[in-house]
Structures are given as C-alpha cells and as structure tokens.
C-alpha cells in the first residue's frame, strides 16, 4: 500500500523534474546541434516543409523546424529572435523595411464562383459593388435571380489586404456574408453554395478545378486568371512568397535560403501550385 | 373510485409519453451520428491501407502515410496523461475526502479548477507557447505540447474524479473506520475502486479532448511532420494534421478523412482497454 | 498511522499545482491584455462602431452575443437529448442495445472537433443553404456544437445516475412507483449535482469551442436577426486573428479571452448557487 502511494508521489513530481531536465537539455541542444526554426504564413508552410525535407536529406547534420501561424507571426518571431527565418506571403510593408526579404515563389489571387454560375466576368467596379453590398443579386450581372453570398477573409490575412487594395476600398466598407480563414475553406464554401463568390490562391483553385470540383475562376480586368498569367507578370492580383530574416542571413540560414531559391526546388514549388522565381 | 381510475390512466399516459420521447430522442441521436460515421467511412476508407499507417507523409500529406504523426500524437498524449492524472486525481481526492467544503483552501482549489475549465483552448495554446516554449526554453516540442495539454486536462479529470468519489456511499467510509482501517487504506481498497468507473469515464473524456485538440498544439508542439527523435523534437499531432489537410492543403480531403478514421479507431481501442481495466479493478478489489 | 499524517500534505501539494497553473495563466492573460486595459478604455469595447481592429474599432459586443446565442442554442438541444440518452441506457433499453448505444456515444465523445467542423462544412452547410442561404449560419454553429457537447452531457449524466445507490431505486420500486415516477421523483433529484456538473462541462466546451464553429458559423461580426444569419464567436475570433494580430489588436484579443473566461465562470457560479439552494 505504501509502495503504491510512494509511486503516486514520485509520479506527481516527475513532471517537475522532467521539466528541469528538459530545460537543461533544450539549452544544450540549442548550442550544439544545427537547428533552424522557420515560422510564419500558413500558405507557404507546406512548401517550405517539403523544401526543408530535401535540404535535410543533403545536409544530414541539420534540422529545419517548420512552424506555422500566419505572416504576422513570422515577422513577430523573427524580430524577437525566436525564429531564424520568417515566411511572409506578401511584400514587406513600409514599417518592415528593417527585415530582409527573399522571394521563393509567386502566387496569384483569383475570384472564384460556382461552376453552374453563368456570369463570365465583371469589372473592378462591379466586384467592388458586390463586396460593398451595392449589388446584391446575380441578376444584375446576367446571372440567376438569386442573392449573392459574399465570401471574405478574416482581418489580417495578406490575401485580404491585397484584394481590398485591388478594389480600392477599406475593409470596414465590405459587407460579407461568410468569413473564412484559409484557401481550402474558401474553396469548400464556394463549391457548397452555387450563389457564392470568393477569392483564393489561383494555384489552389486551378488544382481543385482539375480535380473536377464545380468551381470557376473569373478573369480580372479582362485577363484570364491562370498560373500562366501570373508567371508572365500580367495578372493584376499577385503576391510574392517571401522568406525574411532580421539582418543579413548568415551560415545555415543563408545556405537554406539559397537552396530554397535555387532551381533544385522548382519541382517542389510547382507541386504546391505556386510559380517558381529565378534567383538572379 | 372513479377518481382513482382516472389518476391511474393519467399516470399510464405519462409513462408512455416519457418512453416515447426518450426513444425518439435516442433514435434521432443515433441516426445523426450514424450518418456522420458513414460519411467518414465513405470518405476515408478508399485511402486507408497498411502503408498509410506505416509510411511517412509526402507532398504536404497528400501522399504517403501518417507514421511519424501517429508517433508524435501518442507521445504527446502520453506526456499529457502522465502529468495530468496524478495531479488531477490527487486534487480530487483532497477535495472529496480530506478538505471540508467550506475551507478556504478547498474553495481556492475548486475556484481555480473552474477558471481552468473556462480557459478557451486557444488561450492555453498561447500560454503554453509563452511559458513552456519560450520561458522554460523547451521550444516547439512534444514535451511543451504535452505539458500544455496536461494543464487543459486538469479540470476535466479533477472534476469528474471528484464527482465519482463523492458518489461513493458514505457508509463505506464509516464501515472502514469502524473496522479500524486507516483513511489511506480505506481510500485505496474501498473508495478508489468504487469510484474507478467514473474516474475512468473522466479519463476517457480527457483523452478524447486531448486527441482532438488542435489550437493548443499548433502553438506548442508545432507543425513538423518528421519522425520525432526525442521529446524535445517538434511533432505534428493527428488532429492538427487533419485540420491542415482540410483547411490549408488543396486536395487534402481524402487523407484528411482517412486520418480521421485512424484517430477514431485509436480512440475506440483506448476506450475499450480503459473500461475493461476499470471494471476489472473494481471487481478484484471489492469482490476478492 | 503515520501514512494518514503525511497523506493530506502530499495531496495538498498536488492541489497546489492546479492552483499555481491557474495563477500563471491568469497573470499571463492579464499581462498580455494590459496594454488595452491601461490605454484604451473598457467602454470602447462596447461603444465602438464596429470590429475593425486594423482601423482602430474594437467593439466586442456582437461577438459576445454570437457566443452566448450559439452556446445557449446548443445547450437547449443537447441537454434533453443527452439526458434522454442516459436514461435510455440505464432504464429503458435492453442490455445489448444499452451497451452498444453507450459505445457509440463514447466513440463520438472523441471525434475531434475538426472532423465535426469538416463534416458540418461539407454536409450541413450546403443543406441549410438550400433551405435558406447563405448556409454558414448561427443554426449550423448550434447544430455542430450540439453534436459535440451531446456526448459530454450523456456520459456525465450516465455516470451520475449510475452512481445513485441501488437502495434508493429499490425503495422506490417497493413503494410501487412507476418507471417514470422513479426517474422523475428519485433518480433525477439524487443525481442532480452530477448532472449539472456535466452540463457545466458541456457549457464550457460550447463557449470555448473554436475550430468547429469557425468552420461552419460564417464568422461575420454582426448581431444575428434570425438563426440563418452568420455570426462570429469570441473563440473563433481569437483563432482567426491571433496569428495575424500585433500590438493593440493582439491585446484586445486577449481581453476577449478574459471575457470568455469570465462568461464561463458566471455559468459555473450560477450552477453552484443552484446546487446549494437544492441542498438547503
């Protein structure tokens, strides 16, 4: 009986010991092994994860930890020194000039509707009117006599900032019906609702269309939304996918960034439906 | 006489109505849940295979399997349960057996359990990130994830265990003390075995929550999908993998469904084992 | 007996850990929200025109309303269904049916909220959309939350009812009480404390649930006029924006975390007061 009780006591305090021991170990590994923490945009994270795996296979002594949580988290943690490299899915803002950005890929943002929607395209003004609630029915645009369901992103997403810039409105003017987080959720929301309109990463939308989901990308300013148009640089809504560092990258971080920009990873970039950039 | 007959028929009516309501409620619940399970099976079964469980994920999880993610999940769960169970059950025993309901210490502890039960899981995640990952220097690791989850499990385990202990008839305690057993002996041989099924049910609820948790682990155990080497490595939990596949990776639905199936079957196994253990303990202790 | 002397001390140490964790979290939350609590006035969180944190408007009330409505709706559905389920397995069902129904419920207790959300998004939302667009709505949130907390209510109610001593039930039977009479007059009052504790757990879960609600409730910050209008809950707001928030915005999100905690504690306090009244 006493043994069992002793067991209970030992158990309950083992986590305190484990914590101390682990803290010590953590401090050790930080100094000795080569570990690189990359964190930030959820759009870029799957790609960088794949790049990191390939990098590790050629540099077996190194470890790249990829974390996610959004572009702002990437910037915050790079500034705090928690992460060596941040992932940011937009160009740096004016108050972020102290960071160094390295573009590893390009991504376009396209407006999507359900495949059964007869509307073939509209002007920038019309998109703005839909999103600000001036146009509320598809009939006005040549579609069915149904209410438009406006799908918008949550505040702080870089996709949203780009889109709102494009239609030249402030976010508070927009009257959305559904607000989503990530790309795949936006695609699910539009495929599940024939009267919805949303905007997502073009690569993701093209991939899902090829898989046969009832989805259609609409042209913007008369330019068809496609990965090809983004590659040529003529599509009006595109963004760079960046790796950022605080100060000039050195050592392992520099090596990894160079690797991520080299042609060796172009197939990985394309496999995630982004557009590779040439590092020159 | 007439009045009594009317009363009896009224009672009969009420009896039948209650039965009707209960049966239809149960039918509704089962129908919806079976609908959900069938959807899960239909979505994931075609993707499920032995290789899916034994291979490492490739192409952001669209191809390959979930071996490393399973290992991480189990390690996180192990850390969380091993840490939370002793603390929670000690707290529960203290509250139910040793402390008067009105004492300030009992009140303070019960109050803190209320507060902990009220913390939204995402706040636990942010707290774990700030405390375990940054302040204690554990970084994004299975250990940080498990310890943060343990904080989250504490109120669930403690309150269910306390309810179980309080439900043990008072006569057990009186009898034990009349027989000259020490309180510790009465606790070990009588009260804990009698409360074991309820405590196990609480443990299951807790494990269910822990396995399902996404927000907490995103900020603590991290996103890395490789096989963990130690408890200090970052490891992606299964629920987080499902979330990432369904919300962030285009074309990730099928592996998401398959991963969900694996998760649900994992839980089923743990369920069965725990219930067997709890009933076995009760029988062997109370009826030798 | 020496063991009886040191056992309470050891148990106290265990309970102290629970207390310390609570204090740590509270200090952390208050520390993180301090910038707002000291700089902006609390009144701003109620009187601002809308929730547009990037434009300096921080009105939390619509989200508070959304949280309360969604949780209340889910509880109103889940309590009767859960109680009925527990009563069914204990008093009505034949043994084999009771066991398999209990297994089903226990299985569902462990289905991750992400899966509920995913299922809600692909099945429930399109269904509601056909009935009344846009589909992603308060109703979808309530239904998904109901599914999620139903197992909690059922399992705890079952445990509490099963723990009522057999003697009471036998006495009731000996007095000639009918099945429903026994349940209503003896079992439910005797198990009241356990059942309400379970309901409180469920309420806490509903209020704090993040991912599932985020996926189905539409996330528009507004006061819903009907159950078909989309809403955003406080927890979903934290999940949607924390990763992208910096400065005051981040601090306001922590304030909303505190608010959510406060809300849940009010529920708990009410439950305890009710329980005390019952015993007095």
Beta-bridge mates of residue B6: none
Q: Which are the contacts of C256, defined by CB distance < 8 A and separation ≥ 6?
A: C60, C63, C234, C237, C238
Separation of alpha carbons A244 and A253, rounded Å: 10
Backbone angles phi, psi at B169, to 5 degrees: -55, 140
DSSP letters spanning B244-277: HHHHTSTT-HHHHHHHHHHHHHHHHHHHHHHHHH
Asked if C14 is an interface residue toward chain B (Cβ–Cβ < 8 A), one would say yes
Chain C partners within 8 Å of B166 (Cβ): 193
Measured between CB atoms, does B183 come within 8 Å of chain C? Answer: yes
Cα–Cα dist C237/C70, whole Å? 14
CB–CB contacts below 8 A, A to B: 105
Quote the tokens at residue B162: 């306390």
Euclidean distance between CA atoms A228 and A223, whole angstroms: 11
The reply to whether residue C243 touches residue A69, judged by beta carbons under 8 angstroms, is yes
Give the gap in angstroms from C-alpha A242 to the nearest C-alpha of chain B: 18
Residue B269 · residue B209 · CB < 8 Å: no
In the stretch 97-116 of chain B, residues with CB closer than 8 A to chain C read: 98, 105, 108-109, 112-116
- Chains contacting chain A through 3 or more C-beta pairs under 8 A: B, C
Cβ <8 Å between A181 and C214: yes
* Range A220-238 average pLDDT: 87
Q: Of A2, A12, A170, which has the smallest distance from its Cβ to C55's Cβ?
A: A170
A12/B90 Cβ within 8 A: yes
Angstroms from B288 CA to nearest CA on chain C = 21
Determine the pLDDT at residue C51. Answer: 84
> By mean pLDDT, which of A40-54, A202-216, C266-280 is the weakest?
C266-280
Q: Quick check: A158 pLDDT over 60? A: yes
Secondary element (H or E) of residue C261: helix C248-279
Tens place of pLDDT per residue across chain C (280 aa)? 577 778 888 888 888 888 888 888 888 888 888 888 887 777 777 778 788 887 778 888 899 999 999 999 999 999 999 999 999 998 888 888 888 898 888 777 767 787 888 888 878 888 888 887 777 889 999 999 999 899 888 988 888 888 787 788 888 888 888 888 888 888 888 888 778 878 887 887 788 888 888 888 888 888 888 888 889 998 888 888 877 777 788 888 888 888 888 887 777 676 666 666 555 4
Q: C117-170: per-residue pLDDT in tens?
A: 888 887 888 888 888 777 788 999 999 999 989 988 898 888 888 878 778 888
Question: Considering only CA atoms, which of C207, C205, C195 is closest in space to residue C271?
Answer: C195
Average pLDDT value for chain A = 82
Q: Would you call C1 and B184 a contact, using CB atoms and an 8 Å cutoff?
A: yes
User: Along chain B (288 residues), what's the average pLDDT of each consecutive run of 10 residues?
Assistant: 80 88 92 89 85 82 85 91 92 87 84 81 84 83 92 89 86 88 85 84 81 82 80 85 81 84 82 70 56
A279 touching B (Cβ < 8 Å): no
pLDDT at A15: 47
User: Nearest C-alpha of chain A: how many angstroms from B14?
Assistant: 44
pLDDT digits (tens, 9 = 90+) for A189-199: 888 888 899 99
Question: Distance (Å, rounded) from C-alpha A146 to C-alpha B255?
Answer: 35
Provide, as residue numbers in chain C, all residues whose Cβ is less than 8 Å from the Cβ of B36.
Answer: 111, 116, 119, 147
Q: Looking at the complex, does the CB of residue B250 fall below 8 Å from at least one CB of chain A?
A: yes
Q: Is C46 on the interface with B (CB under 8 A)?
A: no
Instruction: Look up the pTM and report it.
Output: 0.80
- Is the Cβ pair C52, A172 closer than 8 Å? yes
Tell me the H-state helices in A33-86.
45-58, 71-80
**Burial (Cβ within 10 Å: 0-12, 13-18, ≥19) of residue C277:** exposed
Provide the pLDDT for residue C179: 83
Is the CB of C150 inside 8 Å of chain B's CB atoms?
yes
Domains for chain A: give ranges and CATH numbers. 34-104+241-276 (3.40.190.10), 107-232 (3.40.190.10)
Q: What is the DSSP letter of B55?
A: S
CB A184 within 8 A of CB A108: no
Q: State yes or no: pLDDT of A131 exceeds 70.
A: yes
Looking at residue C174, the DSSP 8-state letter turns out to be H
Asked if C156 contacts C195 with a C-beta cutoff of 8 angstroms, the reply is: yes
Would you say the ipTM is above 0.90?
Answer: no
Interchain CB distance below 8 Å, C121 and A2:
no
* Radius of gyration for the alpha carbons in chain B, expressed in angstroms and rounded: 24
Q: Tell me which chain C residues have a C-beta less than 8 angstroms from the C-beta of A72.
A: 243-246
Do the beta carbons of residue C260 and residue C48 sit within 8 Å? Answer: no
- The pLDDT, as a whole number, for residue A70 is 78
Q: Which of C133, C215, C221 is the closest to A185 by Cβ?
A: C215
Asked if residue B27 lies in contact with residue B234, where contact means CB atoms within 8 angstroms, the answer is no
Chain A nearest C-alpha distance from C250 (Å): 11
Provide the pLDDT confidence category of residue A12 given band limits of 50, 70 and 90. very low
Domains of chain B: 50-286 (1.10.3720.10)
Average pLDDT rounded to a whole number, residues A136-149: 87
Strand duo A149-153 + A196-201: pairing: parallel
């Amino acid at each position: 009986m006493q043994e069992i009780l002793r067991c209970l006591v030992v158990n309950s305090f083992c986590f305190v010991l484990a914590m101390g021991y682990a803290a010590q170990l953590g401090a050790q590994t930080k100094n000795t092994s080569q570990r690189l923490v990359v964190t930030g945009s959820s759009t870029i994270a799957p790609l960088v994860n794949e790049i990191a795996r390939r990098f590790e296979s050629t540099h077996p002594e190194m470890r790249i930890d990829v974390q996610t949580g959004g572009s702002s988290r990437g910037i915050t943690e790079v500034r705090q020194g928690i992460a060596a490299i941040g992932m940011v899915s937009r160009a740096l803002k004016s108050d972020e000039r102290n960071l160094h950005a390295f573009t590893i890929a390009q991504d376009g943002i396209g407006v999507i509707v359900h495949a059964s929607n007869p509307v073939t395209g509209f002007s920038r003004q019309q998109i703005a009117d839909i999103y600000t609630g001036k146009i509320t029915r598809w009939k006005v645009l040549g579609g069915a006599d149904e209410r438009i369901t406006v799908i918008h992103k949550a505040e702080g997403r870089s996709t949203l900032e780009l889109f709102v810039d494009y239609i030249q409105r402030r976010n508070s003017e927009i009257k959305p019906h559904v607000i989503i987080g990530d790309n795949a959720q936006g695609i699910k929301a539009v495929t599940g609702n024939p009267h919805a309109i949303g905007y997502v990463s073009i690569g993701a939308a093209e991939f899902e269309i090829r898989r046969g989901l009832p989805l259609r990308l609409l042209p913007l300013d008369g330019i068809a939304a496609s990965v090809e148009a983004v590659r040529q640089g003529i599509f009006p809504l595109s963004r760079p996918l960046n790796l950022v560092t605080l100060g000039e990258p050195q050592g392992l971080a520099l090596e990894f960034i160079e690797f991520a920009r080299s042609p060796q990873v172009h197939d990985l970039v394309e496999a995630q439906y982004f557009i590779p950039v040439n590092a020159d | 006489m007439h009045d009594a007959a009317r009363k009896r028929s009224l009672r009969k009516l009420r009896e039948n109505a209650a039965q009707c309501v209960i049966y239809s409620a149960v039918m509704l619940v089962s129908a919806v849940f079976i609908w959900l399970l069938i959807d899960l099976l239909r979505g994931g079964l075609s993707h499920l295979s032995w290789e899916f469980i034994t291979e490492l994920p490739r192409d952001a999880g669209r191809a390959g399997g979930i071996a490393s993610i399973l290992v991480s999940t189990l390690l996180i769960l192990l850390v969380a349960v091993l840490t939370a169970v002793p603390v929670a059950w000690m707290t529960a025993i203290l509250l139910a057996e040793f402390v008067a309901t009105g004492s300030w210490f009992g009140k303070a502890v019960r109050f803190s359990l209320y507060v902990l039960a009220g913390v939204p899981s995402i706040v636990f995640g942010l707290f774990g990130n700030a405390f375990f990952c940054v302040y204690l220097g554990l970084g994004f690791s299975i250990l940080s994830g498990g310890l943060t989850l343990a904080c989250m499990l504490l109120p669930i385990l403690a309150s269910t265990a306390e309810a179980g202990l309080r439900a043990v008839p008072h006569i057990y305690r009186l009898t034990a003390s009349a027989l000259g057993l020490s309180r510790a002996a009465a606790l070990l041989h009588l009260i804990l075995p009698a409360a074991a099924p309820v405590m196990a049910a609480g443990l299951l609820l807790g494990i269910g929550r822990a396995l399902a948790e996404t927000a907490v682990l995103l900020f603590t155990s991290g996103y890395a999908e490789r096989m963990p080497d130690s408890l200090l490595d970052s490891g992606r939990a299964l629920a987080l993998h499902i979330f990432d596949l369904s919300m962030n990776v285009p074309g990730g639905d099928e592996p998401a469904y398959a991963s969900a199936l694996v998760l649900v079957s994992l839980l089923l196994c743990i369920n069965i084992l725990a219930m067997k253990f709890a009933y076995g303990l009760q029988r062997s202790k109370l009826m030798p | 007996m020496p063991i009886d002397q040191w056992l309470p001390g050891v148990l106290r140490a265990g309970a102290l850990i629970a207390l310390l964790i609570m204090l740590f979290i509270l200090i952390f939350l208050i520390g993180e929200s301090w910038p707002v609590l000291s700089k902006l006035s609390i009144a701003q969180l109620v009187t601002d025109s809308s929730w547009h944190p990037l434009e300096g408007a921080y009105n939390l009330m619509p989200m508070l309303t959304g949280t309360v409505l969604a949780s209340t709706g889910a509880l109103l559905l889940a309590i009767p269904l859960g109680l009925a389920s527990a009563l069914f397995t204990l008093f009505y069902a034949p043994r084999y049916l009771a066991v398999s129904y209990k297994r089903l419920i226990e299985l569902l207790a462990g289905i991750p909220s992400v899966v509920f959300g995913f299922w809600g998004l692909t099945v429930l939302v399109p269904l509601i959309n056909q009935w009344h667009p846009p589909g992603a709505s308060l109703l979808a949130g309530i239904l998904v939350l109901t599914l999620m907390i139903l197992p909690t209510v059922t399992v705890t109610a079952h445990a509490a009812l099963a723990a009522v001593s057999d003697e009471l039930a036998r006495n009731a039977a000996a007095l000639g009480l009918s099945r429903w009479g026994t349940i209503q007059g003896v079992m439910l009052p005797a198990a009241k404390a356990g059942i309400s504790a379970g309901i409180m757990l469920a309420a806490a879960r509903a209020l704090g649930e993040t991912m599932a609600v985020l996926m189905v409730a539409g996330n528009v910050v507004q006061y819903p006029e009907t159950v078909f209008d989309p809403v955003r809950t406080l927890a979903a707001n934290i999940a949607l924006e924390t990763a992208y928030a910096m400065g005051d915005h981040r601090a306001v999100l922590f304030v909303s975390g505190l608010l959510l905690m406060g809300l849940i504690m009010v529920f708990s306090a009410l439950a305890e007061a009710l329980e005390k009244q019952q015993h007095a």
